[in-house]
Amino acid sequence: MWGKLLNQLRSVLEKINNEKLRLNILQALPFWIASLITGLIAVFYAKLFVWAESLLLTITHDRGWLLFIVSPVCFVAAWWIVKKFAKNAKGSGIPQVMAAIELATPKNNNLIDSLLSFKTIVIKILSSMLMIFGGGAIGREGPTIQIAGSVFWKVNQLLPKSWPKISKKNMIITGAAAGLAAAFNTPLGGIVFGIEELAKTHINYFKTAIFTSVIIAGLTAQGILGPYLYLGYPNVLNLSGYIFVYVLMVAIISGALGTLMSKLIMKILRWKANFKTTRFELLYVISVALIVAFIAYFINPSILGSGRAEMTKVLFTENKYAGWQLPVMRMVGPVLSFTTGAAGGIFAPALSAGAMVGSGIAELFRVTGANANILILAGMVAFLTGVTKSPFTSSILVLEMTDRHNVIFHLMLAGIVASMISGLIEKRSLYSHLEKQYLDEIYEEDARENATAGVNK
C-alpha cells in the first residue's frame, strides 16, 4: 500500500517538466512525510506523558503510601518490557540514534533495525509511561528523538527501489532534529542539535532537508497543541549589571554538577553490567523504586517526575528559592531512574536540576526577582551542557522555551563556561559514552550470530 501510494505520487511529479525541480521534490517528499508523522506521534506522546504524570500526583496527593506499591510495580514493568521486547529502547534514546548514525551504511541495515524500529517506538512509549506513572524522574525529549529517528528510518526503508537515493545517515539526523523540535516546540534547538550533536558530515549536504523537516514536525505539533512555550515567559527585564558575576558562578557549579551526575550514572551502569543474572537486575530495579518512594513519602516529593513543575514554580512565583533539598532531589531522581534500564530521557530532568542549582545560588546571595530568574535559566543551560557537552544546543533550547531573546548572551556565556568546566572533569559526554556502549554490544552480538551461522553451515 505504501509503495503504491509513493509510486502514484511519483507519477504525478513526473509530469513536471523541470527535471532538477522534480528530483528535488522526490528527494524531499520522504522527509516531509516522516516529519508529519513525527509531529503527530510527538503530540500523542506528550499528551500521554502529561496525563501519566498528573495521574500519579492525583492518586498520591492524599495517599502517599500508594507510592510503595505503584513505584515498584511500574519500575519493574517498565524495565521488563524493554528487556523482553526491545533492549535498545532503554534509557534516553539519543545514544541509540548516535549509534545508528555511525552504523548508517547499507551493510548495517539489520544492525540499525535493532536501534530504530516500529517495535522500538511502541516499547519506548510504554516503558516511559510506566516510569513516569511510577514516579521516575525522566523526560520525554530523548525518547521522542529516538521515536522520530525510527520514523524517518522506516520511511527510508519503505521507499521503492526506483526512488531517487537518499542518504540514510542524513535521514536519521534529520529525524532526530525534527523529534527534538516537536518535543520542546523549539525549531532552532532542533536544527542546532542536529548540527552540533549528531552531524559529522557537512551541513550543506542536507541543510534543506533538516530545515524543512523541523518546520513540518514543529508546525504539526503546534497546530494541535497551539503555539505554546515549554516554560512560558519569565521576567528577565532590567537586570543588574553585576549579574554576570553570578551567572559565571552558576555556570561553573551547574556545569560541574551535570558532568559529575553523568559520571555517576556511567559508574552505576558499568557496575550493573557485572550482574550475572536477571535476578540481580530485578532486585536493583525494585530497590530503586522503593528508595524513590521512601524519599518522596518521608523527605521530599519533588524527587518524582520530570521536574517541570519545580521549574515553573521558581520562575513564575515570588518564591524563587528552592532550598538545599530540591537540587539534591532533582539529581538523585534522574540517577536512580535512568540506571534502571527502563526508557526515559534526561533532558528535562537535567534542566530541572540546573534550575534548582540556580535557585539555590540566588538564595545564597539573596538575589531576587528578574535577577534570580536569569540565574535559574543559566543553571538550566549549564547543567544540560554538563550532561551533553552541547553548549549551543542547551542555550538555544532554553532561549526558545522562554522566548527571552534579551538574555541570549547570558545563556550562551553560561553554556560556554559550563562546557569548559565540564571538559576539565570529563572529555566525553554521557551520550558519547552510551553510544560506544551500544555499538560494542551490537558488534559483539552480530559477531556471535555470524559465528553461530558459520557453525550451523
Answer with the residue of higher pLDDT: 120 or 192.
Answer: 120
Between 324 and 354, whose confidence is greater? 354
- For the segment 129-149, the average pLDDT, to the nearest whole number, is 93
| pLDDT tops 60 at residue 293 | yes
- Least confident among 69-73, 124-128, 147-151, 441-445: 441-445
Reported as a pLDDT band with limits 50, 70 and 90, residue 457 is low
Task: Check if the beta carbon of residue 140 is closer than 8 Å to that of residue 113.
Answer: no
Do residues 214 and 190 make contact, with C-beta atoms less than 8 angstroms apart?
yes
Residue 28: which pLDDT band, with cuts at 50, 70 and 90? confident
In this model, does residue 442 exceed pLDDT 60? yes
Task: Report pLDDT for 331.
Answer: 95
Band the pLDDT of 338: cuts 50, 70, 90.
very high
The mean-pLDDT minimum among 53-67, 72-86, 341-355, 380-394 falls in 53-67
As a whole number, mean pLDDT of residues 129-148 equals 93
Predicted confidence band of residue 7 (pLDDT cuts 50, 70, 90): low
**∠ Cα 338 397 359 (to 5°):** 70
Is 411's pLDDT higher than 70?
yes
What is the structure's pLDDT at 220?
A: 80
pLDDT at 378: 96
Label residue 107 by pLDDT band (50, 70, 90): confident
Higher pLDDT, 26 or 262: 262
Q: How much is the pLDDT for 3? A: 57
**What residue has cell string 530497590?**
287
93-110: average pLDDT: 87
Check whether domain 15-45+59-225 has CATH 1.10.3080.10, yes or no: yes
Q: Is the pLDDT of residue 452 over 70?
A: no
CA 352/CA 356 separation, integer angstroms:
6
Work out the pLDDT band at 36, boundaries 50, 70, 90.
very high
Amino acid at 90: K
pLDDT at 5: 61
Q: Is the pLDDT of residue 444 over 60?
A: yes
Name the residue with higher pLDDT: 380 or 222.
380
15-45+59-225 shares its CATH topology with 243-438: yes
Percent of the chain whose pLDDT exceeds 90:
49
Backbone angle region of 436, left / alpha / beta, with phi > 0 → left and psi within -120 to 50 → alpha: alpha
- Per-chain mean pLDDT for the chain: 87
More confident site: 203 or 370: 370
In this prediction, residue 373 carries a pLDDT of 94
Domain ranges of the chain: 15-45+59-225, 243-438
Instruction: Say which residue, 410 or 229, is predicted with more confidence.
Output: 410
Q: What is the pLDDT of residue 224?
A: 76
- Render pLDDT for 58-88 as a digit per residue (tens, 0 to 9): 888 878 898 999 999 999 999 999 999 999 9
Q: What percent of the chain has pLDDT over 70?
A: 90
Mean pLDDT of 403-424: 91
Kindly tell me the sign of the dihedral angle through the C-alpha atoms of 369, 57, 65, 286.
negative
> With 70 as the cut, is the pLDDT of residue 153 above it?
yes
* Mean pLDDT, rounded, for 372-379: 95
For range 196-210, the mean pLDDT: 65
- How many Cα neighbours within 13 Å face the side chain of 382? 32
Which DSSP string corresponds to 204-262?
A: GGTHHHHHHHHHHHHHHHHHHH-S--SS------S--TTHHHHHHHHHHHHHHHHHHHH
Q: How confident is the model at residue 366 (pLDDT cuts 50, 70, 90)?
A: very high
Domain 243-438 falls under CATH 3.40.50.360: no
Query: Interior CA angle at 178 toward 43 and 48, to 5°?
Result: 20
CA torsion 219-221-224-228 (nearest 10°) is: -90
Distance, CA of 222 to CA of 118 (rounded, Å): 24
pLDDT for the residue numbered 9: 57
Position with higher pLDDT, 343 vs 447? 343
Task: Map grid coordinates 506513572 to a residue.
Answer: 133
Element (H, E) at 291: helix 278-298
Q: Which residues pair with 91 in a beta bridge?
A: 343
